[in-house]
Structure 1
Amino acid sequence: MIVDSLHNAKKYYDLHPNFRKAFEYVQQNDISVLEEGAFEIAEGLKVIVIVGEGTTREESIKGFECHDQNIDIQISIKGPETFAWKPREKCISPNGDYSDERDVRFFYDKPDMFFQLQEEQFSILFPEDVHAAMIGEGLLKKIVIKVKI
């Protein structure tokens, strides 16, 4: 997992061939006006704009998840937004089977920690990062960029 501000995004371009494209998309577009929904910006890069009311930690961790085929770059547009996190290697209680169609695996495990993103900050969540999001008060807006592995 990586947490940083968009100001430092260039530091991460070389971690994956599509990270540069993902962050350049964010820099070249006014992400604050993107409407809720999902769309592809390049091969292997999908943007999901999420707008919703923040929830409690207890409610959010019911969706404690990770992905096998994608890396998430989650960027806070309107927050702050709190995340739950735990390394996959420490998760021992699966909540159902892996969904190949949705690329998601859920766990009953409790998080090791919580962290918060302020506006214009991001988190890169790799397949080994089990996470839950949208913890907060009031209206939250974010984009999730799915980067195909």
Structure 2
Amino acid sequence: MILDSIEQLQNYTAFLPAIEKVVAYMKTIDPKKLPAEKVYIDGENVFVIPSVAKGKGADEAMLEAHNVYADLQVCLGSGETFGWKDRNMCIKPTGEYSSESDIIFFEDQPTTYVSVASNEFVLFMPWDAHAPLIYDGEIVKLIFKIKVG
């Protein structure tokens, strides 16, 4: 997991070159006007899902993980908190991995929590189980899916 300011996003392209496409896309949009639906930036390799959701309590948020895509989540609202746990330490899946949705959920409890403020991003790789949407209020963000698997 990586947490940093949007201004630093460009510095992570050596780690994950497709981030360059995210940086270029971010320069073309007004952060106060989310796209209405999923936008394919580089076909199935890089796309973005706009999200406006009501936050929930930490006890309601479930850990999830992905096999194919990294999640790069950009906070555009007031904030959001994520639970985190090393995926290899998760032992209570709620079901099977869905290849159609590229997701598996876990009943395990996070080992740590990280808060993301407006104009910050968090990057979750497939080895990161994360519990999103923890917040007392509305969450506004862009979820970039970057193919890594």
Which ranges of structure 1 fall in alignment gaps of 5 or more residues?
none
TM-score, structure 2 as length reference: 0.94
Which ranges of structure 2 fall in alignment gaps of 5 or more residues?
none
CA RMSD of aligned residues (A): 1.1
Separation in structure 1 between the aligned mates of residue 118 and residue 15 of structure 2, nearest angstrom: 23
AA matched with 1:4: D
AA matched with 1:78: G
TM-score, structure 1 as length reference: 0.94
Q: Give the match's secondary structure for 1:31.
A: coil
Report if aligned partners of 1:51, 1:142 keep a CA contact under 8 Å in 2.
yes
Q: Percent identity?
A: 33
Q: Give the match's secondary structure for 1:27.
A: helix
AA matched with 1:109: D
1:36 positional shift: 4.5
AA matched with 1:47: V
Q: Give the match's secondary structure for 2:14.
A: helix
In the TM superposition, 1:12-91 aligns within 5 A as: 12-43=12-43, 44-61=45-62, 64-91=63-90
Separation in structure 2 between the aligned mates of residue 40 and residue 134 of structure 1, nearest angstrom: 23
The structure carrying a bigger helix percent of its residues is 1
Aligned residues: 147
**4+ long deviations beyond 4 Å:** none
